[in-house]
Amino acid sequence: MSSPPQSNHHHTLSKAPSIWFFNHLFLEVGKPGMVLILHIRQPMFTWIPIHREAIRRILEYRENQNELISILREMKKQGFKVVSLEKQDAEGPIPLTEIDPFTFMGSFNRRVTNKNRRDNWAFLKTRWNLKAAVPDDFAGIPLYNSMMSRLFPYSRDRNKDHISLLWQIAEQAVDNGIEKIDEALFNRCLELRCVAMATLTIGLFWINPEKYLSADSKNISYGKTKGVQVEPHDYQSYSQWLREMTEKFGSNYPQISHEAHLFSESTPKASGKTTKLGSSSDTMSTSAGEADRESSLRSGLSTGAEAKPPPADIQYWWLNFNPKIWNIDEAMVGQRQTYTSHNEKGHKRQKYRYFREVKPGDVVIGYLTSPRKKVVAICRITKGLHQTENGEEIEFEKVEQLANPIPHETLLANPELENSEPLINNQGSLFKLTEEEYGIIRSIIDELNIALPVKIEPYDKKKAMKGLFLAESQFDQMLTALEEKKNIILEGPPGVGKTYVAKRLAYALMGCNDPQRIALIQFHQSYSYEDFIQGYRPTSKGHFELKHGIFYQFCRRAQRDERRPYVFIIDEINRGNLSKIFGELMMLIEPDKRGKEFAIPLTYSQDDDEKFYIPENLHLIGMMNTADRSLAMVDYALRRRFRFITLAPEFSSEAFKQFLLNAGAKPALVEKIVTRMNQLNEVIAADTKNLGPRYKIGHSYFCPRDNIKPDEMWYRRVVELEIMPLIQEYWFDNEHKVKEQGDALLA
């Protein structure tokens, strides 16, 4: 730790982070006008003792979590800001019955004013008679971005041991470093919904800041300035990252965390050129900027001009966007826009006083008005009301795009929002939200936009071919067809790996294994246009509202990211009534009818200006089972819009044989499977009257899952329980044929 600067002049912090903070005492001495400035050191990291004492008390309530919940309820009743204590379901509010230690502590580590945080700690100190003092500072503490910070979803959406696992790791970490943590437990926690590397390690830092450093983006970026390139994603990589951070920066983790925050705040933000949009009643301009997508924010003492903490008195707003004028859903994260306080006629907008109240740092809910009627983005005010060539304007930056927008109906159904301004009367542009209202909306957003911990890696043809038994030239043909035609159908008999191949094609096309850019559904006889595109559905209040289907929503997601490919996979595509399901999109899926210039009104569009298009970057892969007699063939109108690729059984493939050998099968068994299944398929193909080549049986029946050894007993089970029922269905009127082929397989 460096020494405080010794000088009789006023000092400001340089860009190099320092942990010394001072109050300034001005004394008039000597000659008139001469001022002596005395620097008084202010203590830092005073939050550590009460955190350490509190976690020990918290852990006493593992078997009595209702006591922790009751404390939070009492705090909320008295007006304190705490995490959400209930979730809104279609049947009404669901109160919490379980809570983990990190979520409980989240009520004391939230982005509110320092005074509010001290008040929260003062309440808990009194309630539990804690010996540690209420903190004077909160420097270096990373905070969860969500106002309603919870490390678990609805009870129906989480594993039974979800909460228990978080208690276990907290109990292990309270007095031990990472080397004493059970590796399997750590990795298992990372697999839980609502838990990621950053959120988990932030919690560990809260409860034991002497042993853990949070692996959030600020600390990771700070580490890279000294060559720490490890990207933590599991126990081993986090352990390695922590070791390297300790080697480079030392073991004072609160100080490192604080310095990382200062470094982040002092990093210049990129800005771009402003361009005018078309004139409208909502005059705006847009410019490209760099998004600050930090998932955890630190607050502390003021550190001078180079590193200002986020404003303590943040306000929350709701801003309406008319998609016919300017669609924020299509804006890039990081873009900045301006919004005028007067309309085209020069009249002040409704709630004009709100335009005067907004200030930099305030948070804005971005709501897309009719016909979408959804919350689609989160923004941050970058400039308060100021004069420009367009008149008075506020400026804001889009900082978050919601992968799953929040319907207006979902917000209306929440009783805690019944008095919220924009939900009582949405006529106008800018509305004020209370901190609690924002917190409720934020919790709904987080519930529907859970970022599962996924490691996205590069994905090329070589990786795609690993585990496939078809020829490389055939894979090339399929990939080329998908790139050129944009729509392909993989057809073949059961067991040839259509779904397996489809996913690998998608990843190879994208160049990475990003599951967020793939959707997989299955058609069935009851599937409709309303399920796929849009239609009216009953609401909890007994009326009907227009709902968008899965394909519509996926297209919107692809429209917001048109520089990268997206793939929509439809299993059993010929099970549905395709003309009925696709409707007018039969035209739009054609490769030369993509893009905004071909946008058309949909069946349920409320006016002619409300149009929809399929973006250029969206690709379709359909799959057809050619052996299902109950299914109609694809009609010619749809057939010409796809390229059809037939997949065949690959029993004779050397890759298939090697796969079985690697799985532990003996060479004799491999030869038996190849020979006998090829013989059976020859018989099926020769029976052109009843069956034919389209009814052959695929190789995937004989691809054992992990930990299943392919031996003779396994072979007999597959034949007796999977192959025999299939050929009985094939030759349902020829028992002799069935017995003959069954005996040949089992001889």
Clarify whether residues 417 and 285 are in a common domain. yes
Clarify whether residues 119 and 235 are in a common domain. yes
> Nearest to residue 646, comparing CAs of 692, 603, 689, 702?
692
> Nearest to residue 106, comparing CAs of 221, 217, 211, 205?
205
Give the pLDDT score at 44: 81
Give the pLDDT score at 745: 92
Higher pLDDT, 717 or 42: 717
* Tally of domains in the chain: 5
Give the pLDDT score at 111: 66
Clarify whether residues 52 and 28 are in a common domain. no
Which of 452-466, 472-486, 574-588, 726-740 is least confident? Answer: 452-466
Which of 21-35, 191-205, 622-636: highest mean pLDDT? 191-205
Task: Establish if 456 belongs to a structural domain.
Answer: no
Clarify whether residues 371 and 469 are in a common domain. no
The CATH number that applies at residue 521 is 3.40.50.300
pLDDT at 631 over 90: no
Clarify whether residues 424 and 502 are in a common domain. no
Tokens of residue 482, six digits: 């998908």
* Per-residue pLDDT tens digits for 389-442: 888 999 999 988 888 888 888 888 787 888 899 998 888 889 999 988 888 888
Q: CB-based burial of residue 72 (10 Å sphere; 0-12 exposed, 13-18 middle, 19+ buried)?
A: buried
Where is the domain boundary, 416, 448, 480?
Answer: 448
Which of 4-13, 459-468, 615-624 is least confident? Answer: 4-13
Task: Establish if 221 belongs to a structural domain.
Answer: yes
Task: Establish if 506 belongs to a structural domain.
Answer: yes
**Band of the pLDDT at 149, cuts 50, 70, 90?**
low
Clarify whether residues 576 and 514 are in a common domain. yes
Give the pLDDT score at 286: 33
The CATH number that applies at residue 444 is 3.10.590.10
> Nearest to residue 88, comparing CAs of 540, 545, 613, 394?
540
Where is the domain boundary, 619, 646, 673?
Answer: 646
- Sign, CA dihedral 252-256-262-266, equals positive
Average pLDDT in the chain: 82
Task: Establish if 704 belongs to a structural domain.
Answer: yes
Clarify whether residues 257 and 282 are in a common domain. no
> Nearest to residue 572, comparing CAs of 563, 562, 581, 564?
581
C-alpha to C-alpha distance for 208 and 54, rounded to whole angstroms: 11
Give the pLDDT score at 547: 83
C-alpha to C-alpha distance for 194 and 102, rounded to whole angstroms: 12
Give the pLDDT score at 503: 94
* Per-residue pLDDT tens digits for 249-301: 999 999 999 888 888 766 544 333 333 222 233 333 333 332 233 333 333 33
Clarify whether residues 441 and 565 are in a common domain. no
> Nearest to residue 398, comparing CAs of 484, 337, 325?
337
* Per-residue pLDDT tens digits for 86-100: 654 444 455 778 999
Clarify whether residues 327 and 352 are in a common domain. yes
Which amino acid would we find at residue 418?
A: E
pLDDT at 380 over 70: yes
Give the pLDDT score at 94: 59
- Sign, CA dihedral 623-625-631-632, equals positive
List, in sequence order, every residue forming a beta bridge with 396; answer none if it has no partner.
337, 381
pLDDT at 146 over 60: no
- Sign, CA dihedral 565-571-572-576, equals negative
Give the pLDDT score at 293: 30
* Per-residue pLDDT tens digits for 300-319: 332 222 333 344 478 999 99
Where is the domain boundary, 448, 478, 499?
Answer: 448
Task: Establish if 555 belongs to a structural domain.
Answer: yes
Three-state secondary-structure class, residue 620: strand
Which of 351-360, 465-474, 599-608 is least confident? Answer: 599-608
Task: Establish if 63 belongs to a structural domain.
Answer: yes
Clarify whether residues 570 and 703 are in a common domain. no
Give the pLDDT score at 273: 34
pLDDT at 728 over 90: yes
Tokens of residue 530, six digits: 């309303």
Task: Establish if 346 belongs to a structural domain.
Answer: yes
Clarify whether residues 337 and 210 are in a common domain. no
Clarify whether residues 478 and 582 are in a common domain. yes
Terminal CA-CA length for the chain? 80
Instruction: Name the residue range of residue 342's domain.
Output: 271-293+307-448
* Per-residue pLDDT tens digits for 485-540: 999 999 999 899 999 999 999 999 999 998 889 999 999 889 999 999 999 888 76
* Per-residue pLDDT tens digits for 319-358: 998 877 777 877 778 888 888 888 877 888 888 889 999 9
Q: Mean pLDDT throughout 193-198?
A: 87
* Count of Cβ atoms closer than 10 Å to residue 171 Cβ: 15
Give the pLDDT score at 77: 87
| Residue corresponding to tokens 């470094």 | 263
pTM: 0.57
Question: Is the Cβ–Cβ distance between 241 and 223 less than 8 Å?
Answer: yes
Find the angle CA(299)-CA(304)-CA(305) to the nearest 5 degrees: 105
Task: Establish if 134 belongs to a structural domain.
Answer: yes
Three-state secondary-structure class, residue 121: helix
* Per-residue pLDDT tens digits for 674-686: 999 999 999 999 9
**Band of the pLDDT at 363, cuts 50, 70, 90?**
very high
